[in-house]
Homo-oligomer: A and B are copies of this chain.
Amino acid sequence: MALGRRFITSAALVALATASVGSGAVAQSGDPKAIEKSFDAQINNADLVAWLKEMSSAPNHVGAPHNKANAEMQLALFKQWGWDARIETFDVLYPTPISTRLEIVGANPVALGGQEAAIGADPDTAKLADALPPYVAYQGDGDVTGSVVYVNYGMPEDYEALERRGISVKGKIVMARYGGGWRGLKPKLAQEHGAIGCLIYSDPADDGYGAYDVYPRGGGRPETGVQRGSVVDMTIYPGDPLTPGIGSTPGAKRLTREESPVLLKIPTLPISYGDAAKIMARLEGPVAGGAARGGMAMTYHWGGTDAVKLHLAVKSDWSQKPIYNVIAVMPGKTRPDEWIVRGNHRDAWVYGASDPLSGQVALMAEAKALGALAKAGWRPDRTLVYASWDGEEPGLLGSTEWAETHADELKAKAVMYINTDVVGRGFFRGDGSHVFQHFVNQVSRDVPDPQTGVSLYDRSRASIRNGGRGVSPEAVAAAKAGADLPIAPLGSGSDFAAFLEHLGVPALNVGFGGEGQAAGAYHSAYDSFHHVMSFDDPGLVYATTLSKVVGRMILRASSGSRPPARYGDFASTVSRYVVEVKKLAADQRESDRALLDQLRDNVFALSSHPDDPMKPPVAKEMTPLIDMLALEDAADRLSRSAKAADAALDRAPAASPAAQAAVEKALKGIDQVLADPRGLPGRPWYRNLIYAPGTLTGYGAKTLPGVREAIEQRRFADARTYVARTAAVLNAYADRLDTAVKALKP
């Protein structure tokens, strides 16, 4: 990597050091509570509202003039606040639609698709001339005509059910509804099953009138609303499809489009339920009932006959486009080579007031407040790197290319990455690396919820005890006991991926949600300032609170002798995951056996419904007994080592400088040992053997992915290989902890 790409120059360090000279008793005092109070006082809700209004006032997709203008505005602001800021540009493959066309063909053709409709109450929706039409990025251009099969969510079990009904999608256009798995899996699986095109629609049961009042009465998706998005296969790798694993810098070696394994081949469009209803109403075939139907006012059918044919054509401009990351640095006073990286993306599909700007303005408020503290004489021990990412929507482009470009420096210096994205009103979440579970809980106990006045922790705790979201038995037990609430593992879907899963840098994704209605405008032209202020986070009170949460995290993580890790939380979580994968294998074996028994006894033929006859499922090879002793042993050892390390580290401040140096050396980058350079089966870019997005969930996490997915996908040889590899990284982790403990022996 060329020195030129090393993004913090000595000159910058000097510049900021100069800028940070100032006064302020509190900021210089070093009293953490006082500094946090002073930080809070700098967070100004009116700033967030003003920035959001301005930044969401025109389309912000990659390449949109307003997106670049926002970057330039941010650059100026960061500088004004005393940060060393720059715009770092990458040229990436990013297709934009030249034309999209969808129609029901026949004697009386019906034109479908096109731009979303203006809504009177929302002035922004009348200014869509500069917006891209609804489309999905990285679909395969094409011009096809064919009959239609409704595939429900378009996930593997849906295809299995279709196959049992004797319905093939081969040579046909599938219509899937959003939900049940990541968007990009739908056309991918359709293509794998021989479909020639794919439509994805937003069912009103999920984010329309079935969920909320419809916009503008409420935030729910109106019948003209369309969810745009990316369908690049980021389960293989995110970032520029042509430069996997390396930064998309001018001299980089690029794949051709044909060589890239993450690009689709079939044309795909997202559509509204207004359009989907016109197609569904014409479908024949057996009834798609029960969990396979949504909320449109008609009986759903699987189709597959020639009752309705569609013409679908998409043509894109596949040229390289520039993306603009704004990077702002505040160098650390005592540990400048330890970085706390904090990011939120800036690009949107249209206006993006909620996604991503609600999180972006929180980041800006933090940066302004930190700048003010710095001007008053405070300085972080560690270096802060604030990033406004571009190109997240098409495929985490900005963060991935940046992380790949600066990989060596990040591996050497990055202590943690803190991400935010959409913020909606509701309950606090801090998900990610379990070494930070206690840290997340501590911060959430110290910030009040703007709605109730109790701490974020107490509100989450009440929600869990009232049967709220994410209620696992562990969460209920912790909530009852008043103990740390478990945090969730990260998969993908935002800019933490390259840090956590490619480099092994431990990461958090922080936010609020559960009480807003942003889902109804998600990735549509209705994700506007009016929508956010009316339904998603009225008054931006939760975005403002997020600034205080992340600000505290930054203040705490950037000071002190070591990062805020508690290894026992990681170890106990890993132990739970090991129990889960063992149970997974045992349950799968049991259900394989049950299926064989059912097939032997003709259970499926005898209970088949005459109106909806289904062939028996295909018999599966029995899941073998898989030796997981190495993994169990490693988890057990890790638990003991982590417990010892946590106890020893509490005593560390009293240790000799030499011992402390040895401890620091042992623990420096410890989480990176979880990244195996060989990566996961079939997707070597994903190196973290503890956390990964599921190949069949997309955003959703799979923990111990090498083992878990191998069992689920019946790659039993892989399962055995990854039992060993996962055990090895856990043992390497325990080795590091043991070294630290040894250094601290009295």
Contact = CB atoms under 8 A, between A and B. Distances in A.
A179 interface: no
Contacts of A603: 462, 465-466
A293 B210 contact: yes
A450 to B, nearest CB: 10
A153 B454 CA distance: 36
Interface in A283-312: 287, 289, 293, 295-299
Contact of A465 (B218, B465, B601): B601
Interface of A: 204, 209-214, 217-218, 220, 287, 289, 293, 295-299, 425, 451-452, 454, 458-459, 462-463, 465-466, 468, 480, 515, 597-598, 601-607, 609-611
Nearest to A462: B606
A204 B462 contact: no
A-B residue pairs, 10 tightest by C-beta: A462-B606, A297-B297, A463-B607, A466-B607, A462-B607, A462-B603, A209-B299, A465-B603, A213-B299, A466-B603
Given A465-B601, A598-B466, A218 B287 contact: yes
Contact of A602 (B296, B299, B462): B462
Nearest to A425: B610
A289 B466 CA distance: 17
A607 B460 CA distance: 8
A213 B284 CA distance: 11
A224 B287 CA distance: 21
A297 B296 contact: yes
Nearest to A210: B293
Contacts of A605: 452, 462
A259 to B, nearest CB: 45
A647 B251 CA distance: 91
Contacts of A610: 425, 451, 515
A196 to B, nearest CB: 28
Given A297-B297, A425-B610, 16 more contacts: A210-B299, A211-B289, A213-B287, A214-B299, A295-B297, A452-B605, A454-B606, A459-B606, A462-B602, A462-B606, A465-B598, A466-B603, A466-B607, A468-B607, A515-B610, A515-B611
Contacts of A468: 607
A602 B462 CA distance: 8
| Max chain B C-beta neighbours (<10 A), residue from A204, A210, A214, A597 | A210
Contact of A220 (B299, B425, B465): B299
A437 B211 CA distance: 46
Contact of A606 (B452, B597, B609): B452
Contacts of A425: 610
Contacts of A607: 459, 462-463, 465-466, 468
Contacts of A296: 297
B515 A209 contact: no
A328 to B, nearest CB: 34
A297 B223 CA distance: 11
A263 to B, nearest CB: 37
15 contacts: A209-B298, A210-B289, A295-B295, A425-B610, A462-B604, A462-B606, A462-B607, A465-B598, A465-B601, A466-B598, A466-B603, A466-B604, A466-B607, A468-B607, A515-B611
A297 B611 contact: no
B515 A609 contact: yes
A282 to B, nearest CB: 13
Contacts of A515: 609-611
A213 B286 CA distance: 10
Contacts of A298: 209
A699 to B, nearest CB: 23
Contacts of A602: 462
A606 B454 CA distance: 8
Contact of A601 (B451, B462, B601): B462
Contact of A297 (B209, B217, B458): B209
| Max chain B C-beta neighbours (<10 A), residue from A287, A297, A452, A610 | A297
A266 to B, nearest CB: 31
A296 B204 CA distance: 11
A210 B300 CA distance: 8
A214 B218 CA distance: 31
Contacts of A293: 210
A606 B297 contact: no
A307 B597 CA distance: 59
A42 to B, nearest CB: 27
A213 B301 CA distance: 9
A685 to B, nearest CB: 39
A653 to B, nearest CB: 36
Nearest to A220: B299
Nearest to A277: B297
Contacts of A452: 605-606
A500 B218 CA distance: 53
A88 to B, nearest CB: 40
Given A287-B212, A458-B606, A606-B454, A297 B204 contact: yes
A297 B293 CA distance: 13
A611 to B, nearest CB: 7
A462 B468 CA distance: 38
Contacts of A214: 299
Contacts of A299: 209-210, 212-214, 217-218, 220
A619 to B, nearest CB: 15
A611 B218 CA distance: 10
Contacts of A204: 297
Contacts of A213: 287, 299
A592 to B, nearest CB: 15
A220 B218 CA distance: 32
Nearest to A298: B209
Contacts of A459: 606-607
Contacts of A210: 289, 293, 299
Contacts of A609: 515
A355 to B, nearest CB: 20
| Max chain B C-beta neighbours (<10 A), residue from A289, A451, A607, A610 | A607
Contacts of A217: 299
A204 B298 CA distance: 9
Contacts of A454: 606
Nearest to A449: B606
